[in-house]
Amino acid sequence: MSSDLLSSFQYIEKEKNISREVLINALRSALLSACKKTFPNPDDFDIVIDPETLKIKVLEKGQEVHHADFGRIAAQTAKQVIMQKLREAEREAIFNDFSKTAGEIITGMVHAVDRKAIVVDLGKAEAILPIREQVPRERYSQGHTIRAYVLEVKASSRGPEVILSRVHPNFLSKLFELEIPEIREGIVEIKSVAREAGARSKIAVSSHDEKVDCVGSCVGMRGQRVKNIVNELGGEKIDIVRWSPDPETFIRNSLSPAELSKIKMFPDEKRAEVIVNDDQYLLAAGKRDQNVRLASRLTGWGIEIFTASQKIPLSSLDGVGEGLEEALKNAGYRTIQALSSAKPEDLAAVPGIGPQSAEKIILSAQKAALSGGVGQKKNEDSGEKH
């Protein structure tokens, strides 16, 4: 048996990259376990395996013994150990292969679909696309080809556990990298991404070569490059924004094509107040504030948008002077609408305001809001990092 065992071990060492020491230790442990099940007084037994010839000796109280059943037991146990190590080596090799795909895009075939996840066949392994990582309006059936971002690869007893995503901002980044040669070559750099999967995304880009237009490179001839990405994402709208090291310029670019009248920057709070004409408000804020929300995430600045008529100073209200205006702003009441919807007890907690003054200020703010058609949209999101 030792010659066959030696050949098997040599194959596993060479092809599966498992050391002989590991194989011998595994075989010895398995044989000792078999001895405990077969022989009386198992604690008296020990197993010695020659590392060169793989000849196996059975010792009972330190003396070599020859048992009629041991040859059969050893052969069966050795076969089991070899098969186990081959399976482990195969799982490890597959895990190592898929570990390299973490953070990349991978293509597979839909194997099964249920309410919690989509199971994707990757050939040597299966991947999971959890419901939280699926674009809400996308639908897949068994047999469909699917591309997704490899979010995580974990080792398990059944092999690698691959977790996929189609909503992660990096999925969009990687699609741009695959589609745009200038990004792959490092000429154009993706600076940040903000995404509401299935609806709209913004991606900020910059060029390291003044002769190369970063936005034009991403759009492509007749918009074909970005169109390919939009098609992959099922029609998701993508805004390609020119990045700038100047925050004010970057904010303007992120809200384009809306025309901004004025931007007031608050660097300590990393916040910006944007003033637009009435006809530009919806374009700047977007449907359900989506545009300004994405712009905030993209730039990392909290952005508030006002029309010129909405930007009424708090000091214009009855009972509010310049000093109290500052106190109100520090307490988070920066707009008339915020004051008009405040609770008297909350407003009374602001230094310099008592219960009666709080009610007076709220009433004044409500009158101002009604008479001036005041309403404001704001997004305090200070950005996401991925």
Local confidence pLDDT in tens for the 386 residues of the chain: 567 777 888 887 787 777 888 888 888 888 888 777 777 776 777 888 888 888 888 888 888 877 666 777 777 877 787 788 777 777 777 788 888 889 999 999 999 999 899 999 998 888 999 999 999 889 999 999 999 999 999 887 777 889 999 999 999 999 999 999 999 999 999 999 999 999 999 999 999 999 999 999 999 999 999 999 999 999 999 999 999 999 999 999 999 999 999 999 999 999 999 998 888 989 999 998 999 999 999 999 999 998 876 667 788 888 888 888 888 888 888 777 778 888 999 999 998 898 888 899 988 888 876 765 444 434 444 444 33
pTM beyond 0.75, yes or no: no
Quick one: tokens of 106?
């991978």
3-state helix, strand, coil in the chain (%, to 5): 45, 25, 30
d(Cα 119, Cα 379) in Å, to the nearest integer? 37
Name the segment(s) of the chain with CATH classification 3.30.1480.10: 2-99
C-alpha count within 13 angstroms, C-beta hemisphere, residue 265: 13
Q: Which residues contact 363 (CB under 8 A, 6 or more apart)?
A: none
d(Cα 301, Cα 249) in Å, to the nearest integer? 12
Superfamily covering domain 105-167: Nucleic acid-binding proteins (2.40.50.140)
Q: What is the DSSP letter of 331?
A: T
Name the segment(s) of the chain with CATH classification 1.10.150.20: 314-378
d(Cα 233, Cα 189) in Å, to the nearest integer? 21
Q: Return the pLDDT at 372.
A: 52
Superfamily covering domain 314-378: 5' to 3' exonuclease, C-terminal subdomain (1.10.150.20)
Q: Return the pLDDT at 172.
A: 97
Q: Return the pLDDT at 373.
A: 41
Q: Return the pLDDT at 386.
A: 37
d(Cα 204, Cα 193) in Å, to the nearest integer? 6
Fold of 169-243: GMP Synthetase; Chain A, domain 3 (3.30.300)
Pick the CATH number of 2-99 from 3.30.70.1140, 3.40.1390.10, 3.30.1480.10, 3.30.1490.190: 3.30.1480.10
Q: Residues 273, 312: contact at Cβ < 8 Å? A: no
Q: Return the pLDDT at 42.
A: 66
Quick one: tokens of 241?
């924004």
Name the segment(s) of the chain with CATH classification 3.30.300.20: 169-243
Q: Return the pLDDT at 367.
A: 82
